[in-house]
Structure 1
Amino acid sequence: LCKDWEGTGAYFWMKSGDETRTVAETPSALLSVQEAKTGITARLQQETKEVRAGQNFTYILSVENTGELPLENIEISSVFSQDNIKAEWKQEEGFTANGMQGIISGLKAGEIRNLQMTVQLTEEQAGELIHTVTVKAKYPGKEESIGCQKSVETEVIALKAAFEVEKTADRTQAYPGDTITYQICIRNTGERTLHSVLSTERFQNAGIQANFVRKEGVTLNSTGTQALIPQIARGEAFALYATVTVPQYMASQELINEVIVTSDETGTQAMTSKANVELKETDNIVTVTPQPASLASQSYGYDSKSGSAYTTASKPRTGDETETALYIVLGIFAIMSGVSAFCYRKTKKQQK
């Protein structure tokens, strides 16, 4: 330290290339130089005001060197309050990014650098999300670091999970022995994909059970009363089929078949859909074909009957006895005519 004029004094200078700059000077031999100020600040904000689950959004980080000295190798790191958050900083010139970590090569005094981070949310990630960014920096000539930390809280709006179930039967009336086919249409009317969609078949009538028809991609339980669908994307529909054969012994009644559907996203919520079919009893009418009179007997699945019994069985009483009465009257008239004729001939003989 020296002065280039007469007398005593001192000055402090800095040289950069060909340029020389006097930083401080004094006419005395004692020069007091203050330490240069250092500082760094950061500001973190989300780019969009509203954030919904299943969407991508961006954070903006502004880093400023508020000191009087240049900063080098400024480390940027992020952490989130929720697990499995997929996020990464955008790499650009002077900034090397590796997922949620990055390094700014340097910042001059007073310089501001804006960085972008993109976050990809899944459909399940909703609620409060806190993003914390830590900034650390070093300046030349010193080992200690300076830094700061900033956080921003984001409320992620949950997506609605919902579905509709429609069930139809291939007929409105059935008889014992008929096979009824039901179609179950499950439609995802919500905003997120439904997973592990479980459909259960059951009848309100005792002693009757429908079974799902096997379909590719669907897992059935051992009895065929439950069908597991891996997933149904939002806006899509999935169709299942179930069949049942009506037992022969069932009497006339209303067959009420219902299906219960649940999913992981809707929790214990169940959607029930019913399909009603009217069951009617068949009329047990036995039709008998007349046989030649020479046959003495005929078997009908019950006790054998003689020819006269067959005639009686094949001509059941109908309630109209007009023909029978006519035959009786004619018979009586014939008998009376015969008796009268006999008596008349006998009288003639006696007269002779």
Structure 2
Amino acid sequence: MSYSILPNYGSLTAREMADASYLPLPAYTPSSGNGAGYDNAALFRADYAGAENDAVFSWTGIAGAVYSITSSSHFDPAVLLVFDAYGDPIAEDDRGGWAGEDHLTFVAPYSGTYYVDASWDQGGFSSQQRVSLQILEDVSPANVQVISGTSRADDLDGTAGADDMFGFGGDDSLFGGRGDDYLDGGSGIDEAFYNGSRAEYTVHADGDRFWVYDNYGTDGDDLLSDIERIDFKDVSLALDINGEGGQAYRLYQAAFDRVPDKVGLGYWIAQLDQGASLREVSGAFVASDEFRALYGARPTNLAIVNEFYENVLNRAPDQAGLDYWVNILDTRQDTVAGVLSYFSESRENYAQLVGAMVNGVEYQPWA
């Protein structure tokens, strides 16, 4: 199987490869649903200062096997990378995962030695030294087809059986079809397609990935990684709650104190996907008829800030916070749209909506 060298990263030095700790991959039995379907695994843990300086490891891979690699440290690892036997980078962090965690999935193009740089970032206190690296190995069970895209936008179709599909770069469209499939979009805004309506499937978040269960068993159970959108026959689902989909959803709560309508949400997701900034979209919300109906034709800065607090925190503002934001607007240090975008992306607004967003949010695609 051919593979490409990543152009934006340096190679390992001979010293780094020589000093890399070897990780064997013994048989693996997951203790929970996480890791189900993998045959072998390696897990390294450390809790000492300076572990980040010894973050390169090696293992023996099998051609065609699927590897799921997760690196964790106090701060977010820099860039989780896999290197080939010559020390050249061939797979990179999928940009997903929680804070303090990086993840990647790739198919081994040959049997032999691989290296991984966990890229840990420890803090300066004793309580911040814990790091870990896990490698899960699926040795390609019988009849699993591996279907790979390119660095460009691809339309990938699976088979009637089990498939491992990898979009890599570009905005990809993946259709797994029947069977239990693994769909990995890679970078870009990637979409998984299903023939049935939304009610025929159950979507469940599993960390930064998603399971899609066919309630009738026709399409099997699929695991999605780095898939931002799901397109069902009757509606679409935005899974990128930390990306454009989530930004558009949260803006409705901060500005209008309501759940988005599916058509409107689809329109604003499309604008963000096409390059509009959150501040620009916030400006459109502020200029809308709905905003004027809720806030009045010429609302004072005091009234606007009070309403933002009520929408996001469900309470009146504290005096210090109120004074701060009113002064920002009074002195024209920022616009109403800018302040709205801040409230929309605040930790408090995210916290109150995460339960509603965690398994994706429904919208109608904007043509």
Q: Which has the higher helix share?
A: 2
TM-score scaled by length of structure 2: 0.20
Structure (1 or 2) with the larger CA radius of gyration:
1
Q: Which has the higher strand share?
A: 1
